[in-house]
Amino acid sequence: MVSFWMSMQDFTKYFDRIEICNLSPDCPIVRQKGEYPWKQSAFEGEWVIGNTAGGCRNHIETFWHNPQYVVTLDDPDKDDDEAKATAIIALMQKNRRSKRNKGMDCLTVGFIVYRVSERDLVQKPLPKEFFMRNASVARSTFINLREVTCRFRLDPGTYVVVPSTFDPHLEGEFMIRVFSECPDCMCENEKCVGVCEPDPRIAEDLPDPTKPNPQRAAMERLFLDVAGVDGEVDWMELKLVLDHCFRDDIAVAAKGISRSYAVPLAAESPSDSKKLPMAEGEPVCCGLLAILQDWYVNMAGGDNRPAQNTSNDLIMSKERAPLMSGEMRSDGTGIGFSKDACRSMVAMLDEDHSGKLGFLEFQKLLTEIARWKAVFKLYDRDQSGHLNPFELRAALQSAGYNLNNKILNSLMHRYGSREGEIWFDDFITCAVKIKTMIDIFKAKDINGTNVASFNMDEWIHKTIYS
């Protein structure tokens, strides 16, 4: 082994910073030397616009949306006279060096540590109110380095570490590691993925769909007009009906998208200008029956009979549907619900995999969409046609779905805009996807063990049609 020495004078002359690298406890070289007192816990995460890119503590309204990690230090260090527990926390940015050729340098990142109790951890993740009431016990500096590392001596107990970028709405991947003498001391502060009780503000009783009523009869007649002799609608026919039912919502979303991407559309109609933002405290119109009745009136007319011009318009549109499915708005997006969205809606309720829906299945679909529209209206209080950034988790929870950050990040990547907004048709498509995947899983998890087993053939068969 070759060694060398350097005078302190020369060292300070030629170097201005020193970084010491250590082998991690799981390194094979360390393991060969026998038991090592330090243990490592590590998680990979991501800051995503609209979900987890909340920025530092200066931005209290969004800070709590950052990923949260629970660190438990049960015992003090051995031979520590002050009964303190040492924890080394390292936050490393991933894949930043490979993006330098795109002009992307390291983000300014850091982390903050909070002491928590068992009562605090009942809420997953910790809400904004927790961070407003409680001061941090430790923190790193926020700096634009690839890795930020700090060593802390803390009282034994439970802590939450919140890694973040300095400014909100900045995306990046990271790995966070905690070294301590306590094994398996770290976990994500997340709810378990699954179904929960929907928001009581939207969980109203619907009329029995099997009982006859004038609105149902009118909708059925109109449905059969569009469906034709087979009495069923495929995705193309479903698109015609849904685009007609949701034409107001789609128009609002289209105008909002055009404004966001600076693409001019047709001037607003006088009726659009009469829509005012909802006042603070004003009751949210979330009645499912009211929503369905609005559709019945729009589709059937005031006399509860299908308007002849409506039926004719839809039938004529049906004849030119292949052309419509390829038409584009001036902002580059498709007209109304996308082809994939309509196909997914059909697949969600198409138990025999025929590619079509009968009237009863169609009515079930409308009921589900009514619930999701009610949720959307609950959060779209300014009637902008979109959910604001960071609202997707709460909206899906109101719809009855608990999801973790990994899933929500994937949904934001797929359905979110570059500003982190979720538009109406994308929210419906997102909800359809979630319900379908959960239903596929629950069909195999008969005993409710939260574990399902699929072979390759079953998995492909179940998911490829969804």
Distance (Å, whole) CA 323 – CA 219: 26
pLDDT band at 245 (very low <50, low <70, confident <90, very high): confident
Name residue, tokens 């308007």.
307
Cα dihedral sign, 396-193-390-437:
negative
pLDDT band at 294 (very low <50, low <70, confident <90, very high): low
Segment holding 269, helix H or strand E: none
Enumerate domains of the chain plus CATH numbers. 36-76+83-190 (2.60.120.380), 214-464 (1.10.238.10)
Amino acid in position 91: L
pTM of the model: 0.80
More confident position, 161 or 331: 161
Residue 129's pLDDT is what? 97
The pair of three-digit structure tokens given for residue 439, joined into one six-digit string: 């239903």
The pair of three-digit structure tokens given for residue 418, joined into one six-digit string: 């570059």
**Region 13-35 average pLDDT:** 74
Say whether pLDDT at 150 is over 70: yes
Say whether pLDDT at 332 is over 80: no
Lowest mean pLDDT among 111-115, 249-253, 290-294, 445-449: 290-294
Distance (Å, whole) CA 10 – CA 299: 85
Instruction: Assign 436 to helix, strand or coil.
Output: helix
Interval 314-327: pLDDT, tens: 544 454 443 333 34
Say whether pLDDT at 236 is over 50: yes
Interval 306-317: pLDDT, tens: 444 545 555 444
**Region 33-37 average pLDDT:** 64
Residue 280's pLDDT is what? 42
Residue 324's pLDDT is what? 38
Please give the distance of CA 464 from its chain centroid, rounded to a whole number: 22
Among 404, 434, 411, 456, residue whose Cα is nearest residue 190:
404
**Region 273-285 average pLDDT:** 39
Residue 149's pLDDT is what? 93
**Region 211-235 average pLDDT:** 80
**Region 29-46 average pLDDT:** 78
Q: Residue 19's CB: how many other CB atoms inside 10 A?
A: 7
More confident position, 179 or 35: 179
Distance (Å, whole) CA 191 – CA 394: 12
Cα dihedral sign, 428-430-433-435:
negative
Interval 356-415: pLDDT, tens: 999 889 888 988 998 999 999 999 988 888 999 999 999 999 999 999 999 999 999 999
More confident position, 183 or 434: 434
**Region 200-220 average pLDDT:** 67
Burial (Cβ within 10 Å: 0-12, 13-18, ≥19) of residue 4? exposed
Distance (Å, whole) CA 127 – CA 261: 33
CA 246-399-244 angle, to 5 degrees, is 10
Name residue, tokens 């803390």.
154
Distance (Å, whole) CA 47 – CA 164: 8
Strand arrangement of the beta sheet that strand 109-116 belongs to: 138-139, 109-116, 157-165, 69-73, 186-188
Residue 306's pLDDT is what? 45
pLDDT band at 249 (very low <50, low <70, confident <90, very high): confident
pLDDT band at 174 (very low <50, low <70, confident <90, very high): very high
Cα dihedral sign, 238-240-246-251:
positive
Interval 84-123: pLDDT, tens: 999 999 999 998 888 777 778 899 999 999 999 999 999 9
Query: For all residues of the chain together, what is the average pLDDT?
Result: 81
pLDDT band at 20 (very low <50, low <70, confident <90, very high): confident
Lowest mean pLDDT among 227-241, 257-271, 356-370: 257-271
To 10 degrees, the CA torsion angle through 26, 32, 35, 38?
Answer: -30
Say whether pLDDT at 4 is over 90: no
Distance (Å, whole) CA 50 – CA 161: 21
Residue 9's pLDDT is what? 93
Q: Which of the listed ranges 232-246, 259-273, 392-406 does the model predict with the highest average pLDDT?
A: 392-406
Interval 296-306: pLDDT, tens: 555 544 444 44
More confident position, 332 or 223: 223
Residue 72 forms beta bridges with which residues?
158
More confident position, 197 or 263: 197
Residue 269's pLDDT is what? 41
Residue 338's pLDDT is what? 86
Distance (Å, whole) CA 324 – CA 437: 29
